[in-house]
């Protein structure tokens, strides 16, 4: 069983289209979306519709929850809050209903999928370091053997052994049965690991190997749409450098 995993599209239709095309050549059995279809980018409704049509498993992200009325975002910084207001006004009723119904996590056999830290997925906690993960983790046994998350827009992975948690970055992760793994799959629509290419991955559940993939897309068109929409220029400029 091969899972195609992607996350954090954030209304970037140019990046999403290219990533979905790339999955077609990677022989995946199921597409899994790890949240945040909307926010920052200029095509939130189109992104929702395309993800709904193509992904077989989807979980809710914090931006999805915000625009669909599942959580408050009054404490977000001004530009992000304004972008969420802008998105909410442009998402069709059927896509709003879809966002409201998305689960916080899904599990298939030994693999779990969620947006933020899996311990309390409704809190959308970020995972950046091993120490941070240790602070959040109360019951290691409650974790699935392999968990895939998004949210941070990074590609940081965590290996949880009996007496240690190791954070690392690697192009390929072998999820050996003697440890547990949490893998951040990167961002399709707004990478923040200093690589502006759209990021996604494939997990082979038979070999237990996850592989990152990157593809170029029309960044300039995505940026221009953001500027033309009157959204914050920062959201467009950061696409150029992947931060």
- Residue 1 CA to residue 134 CA, distance in Å, equals 31
Q: In the predicted model, is pLDDT for residue 49 greater than 90?
A: yes
Q: In the predicted model, is pLDDT for residue 71 greater than 90?
A: yes
| pLDDT for the residue 226 | 97
C-alpha distances in Å from residue 72, one per residue of 84, 85, 86, 128: 11, 12, 15, 23
| pLDDT for the residue 166 | 94
- Residue 48 CA to residue 157 CA, distance in Å, equals 27
Handedness of CA 62, 67, 69, 75 (dihedral sign): positive
| pLDDT for the residue 3 | 98
* pLDDT tens-digit readout, 143-193: 999 999 999 999 999 999 988 999 999 999 999 999 999 999 999 999 999
| pLDDT for the residue 142 | 85
Q: Dihedral angle at the C-alpha atoms of 49, 62, 109, 95, nearest 10 degrees?
A: -20
| pLDDT for the residue 170 | 97
Alpha helices in the chain (DSSP H): 13-23, 44-54, 62-67, 78-88, 93-101, 130-136, 219-228, 233-241
Query: Three-state SS for 4?
Result: strand
Q: Are 212 and 201 in contact (CB under 8 A)?
A: yes
| pLDDT for the residue 186 | 98
Q: Are 200 and 19 in contact (CB under 8 A)?
A: yes
| pLDDT for the residue 200 | 98
| pLDDT for the residue 134 | 87
Assign domain 2-241 to a CATH class. alpha beta
Q: 125: which 2 tokens?
A: 């906690």
For the chain, percent of residues with pLDDT exceeding 70: 100
222: Cα within 13 Å, side-chain hemisphere:
32
Helix and strand counts by DSSP (H, E) for the chain? 8, 12
Q: Are 38 and 47 in contact (CB under 8 A)?
A: yes
Q: In the predicted model, is pLDDT for residue 138 greater than 90?
A: no
Per-domain boundaries in the chain: 2-241
Q: Which residues contact 174 (CB under 8 A, 6 or more apart)?
A: 208, 209
Q: In the predicted model, is pLDDT for residue 29 greater than 90?
A: yes
């Amino acid at each position: 069983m091969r899972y195609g995993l992607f996350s954090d599209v954030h209304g970037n239709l140019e990046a999403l289209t290219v990533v979905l095309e790339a999955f077609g050549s990677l022989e995946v059995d199921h597409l899994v979306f790890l949240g945040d279809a909307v926010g920052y980018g200029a095509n939130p409704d189109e992104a929702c519709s395309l993800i709904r049509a193509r992904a077989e498993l989807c979980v809710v992200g914090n931006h999805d929850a915000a625009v669909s009325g599942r959580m408050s975002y009054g404490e977000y910084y001004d530009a992000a809050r304004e972008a969420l207001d802008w998105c909410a006004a442009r998402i069709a009723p059927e896509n709003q209903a879809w966002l409201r119904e998305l689960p916080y996590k899904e599990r298939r056999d030994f693999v779990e999928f969620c947006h933020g830290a899996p311990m309390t997925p409704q809190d959308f906690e970020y995972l950046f370091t091993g120490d941070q993960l240790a602070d959040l983790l109360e019951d290691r046994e409650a974790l699935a053997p392999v968990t895939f998350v998004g949210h941070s827009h990074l590609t940081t992975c965590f290996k949880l052994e009996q007496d240690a948690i190791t954070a690392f970055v690697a192009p390929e992760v072998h999820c050996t049965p003697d440890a547990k793994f949490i893998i951040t799959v990167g961002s399709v629509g707004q990478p923040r690991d200093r690589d502006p290419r759209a990021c996604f991955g494939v997990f082979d559940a038979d070999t237990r190997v996850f592989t990152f993939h990157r593809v170029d897309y029309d960044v300039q068109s995505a940026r221009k749409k953001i500027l033309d929409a009157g959204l914050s220029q920062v959201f467009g400029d950061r696409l150029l450098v992947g931060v």
